[in-house]
Chain A
Amino acid sequence: MAADDATSTGEPAPLIEFRAVTKIYGAGLAAVSALDGVDLVIQQGEFVAVMGPSGSGKSTAMNILGCLDTPSAGSYRFRGIPVESLDRNQRARLRRHYLGFVFQGFNLLNRTTALENVELPLIYRHTPRAERHARARQALDLVGLTGWERHTPGELSGGQQQRVAIARAIVTQPSLLLADEPTGNLDTARSHEIMELLAGLNREQGITVLMVTHEPDMAEYAHRVIHFRDGRISDA
């Protein structure tokens, strides 16, 4: 982490900075407040676990963190950029360059090989074909799927599919990896393998990892655990 503090201003902008972030769905009497004035700072290089019962606002928070959604009120700065002032396409560019997503349901493209799935983000970055192949192979290598490049999701086990999804998320060398219950569909042994992988990526590649989980065992891999309750961060 010391290497990241080398900027001349001394105190670098945190990777993520929530100030009184509020998200309200609906309007009038039907309005539901999903997030209610959340403050949160996450520094580059952290491994943070997010926990909380369903309906606590953690999914909403993850959507805003992932620049898929914007707050109704408050400010969200990602690398110092005020995300709430960006339009849809600007947020897409931000995701394209700095974010990697791992979803609970893997969300791979069916009938498309592992290699092509991993290449997908690079296509939207207009990376030349040869480099795309090389980097996708490298990413699959990193998650331990050497030799499985030509297999489609249907031919892979759940653990392998999640590894493909992780490879797809890290192939762009993002500064933030968002994982939404990455072990939700896996057995214990597979879950620990995936957590080892994420911890390793955080440690060795310096990728900041933000992970939603229901399982305390998995949260133990993180440096820090944030608990959500009723749209706020509670100090558990």
Chain B
Amino acid sequence: MIWNAFLLALREIRRNVLRSVLTILGIVIGVAAVIVMVTLGDGATRQVTTQIESLGTNLLMIRVGQHMGPGQSSNAPPFSLADTVAVGRDVPSVRAVAPSASQSMIAIVGNSNWSTSVTGTDNAFFSVRNWTLESGRLFSDGDLQGGRSVCVIGATVRKELFGALDPIGEKIRLKSMACQVIGLLQSKGQSSMGSDQDDLVLMPLRTFQRRIAGNQDVSLIQVSIRDGESTDSAKGDLERLLRERRHIRPGEQDDFSVRDMKEIASMLTGTTQVLTALLTAVAAVSLLVGGIGIMNIMLVSVTERTREIGIRLAIGALEREVLTQFLVEAVALSSLGGILGILLAIGASLGLAPLLNVPFVFNGGIVLLAFCFSAAVGVIFGYFPARRAARLDPIEALRRE
């Protein structure tokens, strides 16, 4: 019976191809939108996690103040170079520690200028952040101790200021100082937040403090933990040490924060996931609208086929059988919409993922869910028209022209 009803339904759909297609368009778009949102959202989340993992899961970032983003200004004192030295000396699980202070400014070479971020740090920075040099050299002890005007630049800065020319040995003007390029970093590409990681200039911390910042502040301490050591216990050690050094009394809140990449990753993916959920909810509304479209067309179909229904009832079809026939037709329509939507979504995701720079992550669960949902839409919105058909009075129905 169901199989017969299914064949009948397919025949009805074929009979009115244009109308059927227009009817299911809402479902197609709804299903496609939901799947595309979830697929791209998954891709973005995956991208964030893999990029953060590539930074090293053993990386800890220590900042002044409690919050990562903008919002709350902190009047907590900055770190000093002595804090960095203490971290490296007193916390045994620390493999490397790099102090840094940054400022964004315009870098000028000849007629070209480029706004970039300038960071003062030391050679530990390269190992903590997994940077390697494409050419040139790292800072020498003399550079670091003497606060010489030398710098290592990222691929973007090189491209903007030097084009294809070899930058090594050339001078960059930063504010009032002229700084000699001694190294070029290997390109890392875009970061998970969409910023360009290669857009940076590194110089010795002492140079930065003397020639640019004019103070002894260290705003960020980046620490990498030895393999096999727990980041949680390292975090505890670091917090204890810094509380002591910063004279924070028991019971008082930290005026600094130690975050590991896992935390940062979950914060970033959390945002992505909330956005994805929101967009998916909006897309799901179009599924509902699609369902109403199906109900509308099924009602029209019942009216158009009143005589057919009358014939079927007169020759002995049960209410249940007529109900099944129309319900199956509605479900066949909506499921067809679901299938087309899934195909469209996979095509669209494959097309959009490279444009948006996120990996394509096939989520079988959401595809299955979207299909089941589209079939359910058929059942829910097909029931009312189907019941109307089943309850027709055969005498009345046969009389209708």
> Which residues of A are in contact with B by a Cβ distance under 8 Å?
63, 66, 68-69, 88-89, 92-97, 99, 101, 103, 107-109, 111, 120-121, 123-126, 168
- Which chain B residues numbered 281 to 322 have a C-beta less than 8 Å away from chain A? 307-308, 310-321
Do the beta carbons of B321 and A66 come within 8 Å of each other?
Answer: no
Instruction: Indicate whether B15 reaches chain A with its CB closer than 8 angstroms.
Output: yes
Name the one of A95, A97, A99, A103 contacting B398, with C-beta atoms under 8 angstroms: A103
**Shortest Cβ distance from A96 into chain B, in angstroms?**
3
Point out the residues of chain A lying under 8 angstroms from B319, CB to CB.
88-89, 92
A71 to B77, CA, bound (A): 98
Chain A residue numbers with a CB within 8 Å of B378 are: none
With A103-B398, A111-B15, A123-B4 known as contacts, the answer to whether A95 contacts B315 (CB < 8 A) is yes
A93 to chain B, nearest CB (A): 7
CB contact between A69 and one of B1, B310, B318, B395 (< 8 Å): that residue: B395
A149, B78: Cα distance in complex, Å = 93
Min CB–CB distance B325 → chain A (angstroms): 10
Query: What's the Cα separation between A96 and B307 when bound, in Å?
Result: 18
A89 CB → nearest B CB, Å: 5
Residues of B with C-beta under 8 A to A94? 316
Q: Is B394 an interface residue (CB 8 A)?
A: yes
Contacts of A107 in B (CB 8 A): 307, 310-311, 398
From residue A51, how far is it (CB to closest CB) to chain B in Å? 21
Chain B nearest Cβ from A204, distance in angstroms: 23
In the A-B complex, the 10 residue pairs with the smallest Cβ-Cβ separation, listed nearest first, are A96-B316, A95-B316, A121-B315, A124-B316, A89-B318, A107-B311, A92-B318, A124-B317, A92-B316, A68-B395
7 A-B contacts (beta carbon < 8 Å): A63-B395, A92-B313, A92-B318, A107-B310, A107-B311, A107-B398, A120-B311
> Which residue of chain B has the shortest Cβ distance to A122 in the bound complex?
B315
Contact B316 A68 (CB under 8 A): no
Question: Once the chains bind, are A95 and B311 in contact (CB under 8 Å)?
Answer: no
Total A-B pairs in contact (CB under 8 Å)? 52
Could you tell me the dominant secondary structure of chain B's interface residues?
Answer: helix
Q: Which residues of A contact B318 (CB under 8 A)?
A: 89, 92-93, 124
Q: Which residues of B contact A (CB under 8 A)?
A: 1, 4, 15, 307-308, 310-321, 394-395, 398
Cross-chain contact A109 with B316 (CB below 8 angstroms): no
What CA separation (Å) do A167 and B233 show in the bound complex? 88
- Please give the distance in Å from B66's CB to the nearest CB on chain A: 72
- Assess the A109–B314 pair: CB atoms within 8 A: no
**Could you say which of B313, B315, B320, B394 contacts A168, with CB atoms under 8 Å apart?**
B315
A69 vs B396: C-alpha distance when bound (angstroms) = 11
User: Inside 8 A of A97's CB, which chain B residues have their CB?
Assistant: 316
Instruction: Give every chain B residue within 8 A of A66 (Cβ-Cβ).
Output: 314
For the complex, what is the distance from the CA of A93 to the CA of B4, rounded to whole Å?
19
Q: Which chain A residue lies CB-closest to B391? A: A88
A109 touches B308 (CB 8 A): yes
Other A-B pairs, 5, CB within 8 Å; known A92-B319, A125-B316: A89-B319, A94-B316, A103-B398, A107-B398, A111-B15
